[in-house]
A and B are shown apart, each in its own frame.
Chain A
Amino acid sequence: MVLGLGYNAMLVMVGAGLLGIAAGVTGTFLFLRKRALVGDAIAHATLPGIGLAFLLMVALGGDGRNLAVLLIGAAVTAALGLLCVHWISTKTRLSEDTAIGAVLSVFFGFGVMLLTVIQNVPSGRQAGLDGLLLGATAGMLYADAVLIAVGGAVALAASLALSRPMTMVAFDAGFAGISGVNVVRIDLATMGLVLMVTVVGLKIVGLILIVALLIIPPVAARFWTDHAMRVAILAGTMGGVSGVVGAGLSATAPDLPTGPIIVLVAFAAFLISLIMAPDRGVLAAWFRHRRFERRVHLRQGLLALGQGQPIYERFTLRLLQKAGLVRADGVATDRGVGAALDALRDEARWAIMRADPGFDTLVNRHDGLSPIDTLLTADQIAEIDTRLNGATP
């Protein structure tokens, strides 16, 4: 399949793969710094830069189609947009999300206006600038494909080089600052990387969807691990695979726009992570919650039985009945009485342990719902029981 795609398509796939890795790694730090959508403002703010660069090239007598110059223009207004977000959110009472929304829509609006200007310029109609909105790799020039592949490689190298200090800042900015990392400079570098990924990705993914490559793989990776560096590695992998697979798929048929396909491949990886991840995944969480709910109800039911209190919850009664601890009329069976007394005794033991600083770690870590003999040695329990009996007449 790959061989049938031609040289350009291969280069695009390589570029998309490199870009995907770089975006996944860079996006992880953006995400861990809780600034995922800043990338959206940056991406949309590239449009006026593209338009202005084109008009400038035409004014200087060129045909305006030099991709490298267009991308430089994109980077300039994107940086300006980033500056605006920062300025609005620090100098006024408006929040950062408001600033992001305002900047992305206004810059984009201004860009759209420039596009209508360009349409009236001779050669403007053929400039293919709207391809930068959603990505268009069909019929791409060889030089452009090389530019993207090289750009992707550079972005990847830079993000790998910076990943250690970025991990430190993302994990704990305060601590990173104390250990001599210049937090402001690392944040700036992260933004620079985001800018670079965005600009390189314009031709492949397009400016509206490029932010997805910065957000989706890190969020998906986050479901599998709590470790920042592993999130970055996993996000890079998912981003890279999405890029290669998406670009490859899109090259096989005319009606498959590259950007959306890459995004949807990444989204599929996200969906799998959301549902299947072992600890944070939806399925795991749901089963865990059900189990926990049963344990709580059972425990509460036993305590109520032991103290002769009424049980108000039907679910609790049903669980007790199912476990053979109460009869259908709500009266405890012999086994139920035994279990209730056990539960009461454990509850009293826990109370002793909670008052004793020596047990702090155990008490803080544990939910206090399970039988104590699964957690402590017989000697420890005996010791607690002595105190228990001494404390109460």
Chain B
Amino acid sequence: MAVTPLSVVPVVPASEDLAVYPLALRGLTVSYGQKPAIFSVDASFVPGQMTAIIGPNGAGKSTLLKAALGIITPLSGHVTVFGKALVDQRQRIAYVPQRASVDWDFPTRVIDVVLMGLYRELGLLGRIRRSHHDRAMACLTRVGMQDFATRQIGQLSGGQQQRVFLARALAQNADLYLLDEPFAGVDAATEKAIIAVLKDLRDAGRTIVAVHHDLATVAEYFDRALLLNVRRIAEGPVDQIVTPDLLERTYGGQLTMARMDPAQTAS
């Protein structure tokens, strides 16, 4: 009987060199109960590229990022960051959680949130100097939020909140950026501003991985895509990955709702 490989990407050779990848996952399985949220996912995120993680609701997209970062303990699997264990490489990663995961009623100002991005440099008691402050302001300027520095964070719109989160990630000056749904519930102007900043980062050689849910914009925004629905369906350059056949394999019955003719516009 014919045996199909699990994905369109060639099987990884046994002697692979994980160090070339900013982030590599091998056999990652996470389960919240008796059903895996992600099962045996292999993924290699290519340096200097923007990769979208795409899949239906409940496909385990956020779970994948959280497990990669060690926020959730996986049931099994192997994660390397630039070829090394995560703990030695934290300073090279910036993580932008889902905007809705924090309490925006927290009593603090925009600039204070951005300064959190400098924590690894400042440490427990390092004094915030003029230079730190200037850098935080520069990050805010890059996302167009320089006029909001002293605002209370609770007064921001959804899009502005997302920009502040991005500014904080910029302050971390990382090599690998992991973003969880950066475009969820933001206005069109913010979406444009964020994608411009991310593309600048990419052009400067940084690696971007973002959970994304809008099939219509994947091909326009990203270089590569990982299709995920509990299992990895496929991974590769967007034009080879975002195809009707693979999307149907990813979304199954949900595709009718999700399809927005991305493949046609992409090709």
Contact = CB atoms under 8 A, between A and B. Distances in A.
- Of the listed residues A304, A354, A385, the one surrounded by the most CB atoms of chain B closer than 10 A to its CB is A354
B164 to A, nearest CB: 20
A316 interface: yes
A300 B3 contact: no
Interface stretch (A41-49, A106-114, A264-272, A340-348): A340-348
B205 interface: no
Contact of B2 (A360, A368, A388): A388
B27 interface: yes
A380 B4 CA distance: 18
Interface stretch (B109-117, B167-175, B183-191, B245-253): B245-253
A367 B34 contact: yes
A286 interface: no
Contact of A354 (B1, B16, B27, B249): B249
B5 A307 contact: yes
A19 B26 CA distance: 57
B229 A354 contact: yes
Interface residues of A, number: 41
A93 interface: yes
Given A293-B75, A360-B253, A347 B31 contact: no
Main secondary structure of the interface of A (DSSP, over half): helix
B76 A307 contact: no
A348 B2 CA distance: 10
A128 B231 CA distance: 67
Contact of B31 (A296, A309, A345): A296
B105 A367 contact: no
Interface residues on B, range: 20 to 34
B3 A341 contact: yes
Given A309-B14, A363-B252, A368-B230, A389 B2 contact: yes
Contacts of B252: 354-357, 360, 363
B40 A300 contact: yes
Nearest to B6: A347
A93 B105 contact: yes
A392 interface: yes
Interface string A374-393: 00000000000100110110
Interface in B1-52: 1-6, 11-12, 14, 16, 26-27, 29, 31, 34-36, 39-40, 42
Contacts of A226: none
A313 B4 contact: no
B253 A357 contact: yes
A52 to B, nearest CB: 37
Given A308-B14, A312-B26, A312-B27, A355 B248 contact: yes
Interface in A265-310: 288, 292-293, 296-297, 299-300, 303-304, 306-310
Contacts of A293: 75-76
B34 A388 contact: no
- Of the listed residues B26, B27, B253, the one surrounded by the most CB atoms of chain A closer than 10 A to its CB is B27
Contact of A313 (B76, B105, B230): B76
Interface in B204-262: 229-231, 233, 248-249, 252-253
B78 interface: yes
Contacts of A367: 34-36
Nearest to A307: B11
A15 to B, nearest CB: 43
A292 B12 contact: no
Contact of B76 (A297, A341, A357, A369): A297
A388 B34 CA distance: 28
A308 B11 contact: yes
Contacts of B78: 312-313
Nearest to A316: B76
B40 A292 contact: no
Contacts of B42: 309
A355 B40 contact: no
Nearest to A390: B2
Interface in A101-152: none
Contacts of A341: 3
Given A93-B105, A348-B6, A389-B2, A303 B40 contact: yes
A311 to B, nearest CB: 8
A83 interface: no
Nearest to A366: B35
Contact of B27 (A93, A304, A348, A368): A304
A360 B254 CA distance: 10
Contacts of B27: 300, 304, 309, 311-313, 316
Given A300-B76, A307-B11, 4 more contacts: A296-B29, A303-B40, A344-B6, A369-B36
Interface of B: 1-6, 11-12, 14, 16, 26-27, 29, 31, 34-36, 39-40, 42, 75-78, 105, 229-231, 233, 248-249, 252-253
Identify the 3 closest CB pairs spanning chains A and B, nearest first: A357-B253, A312-B78, A348-B4
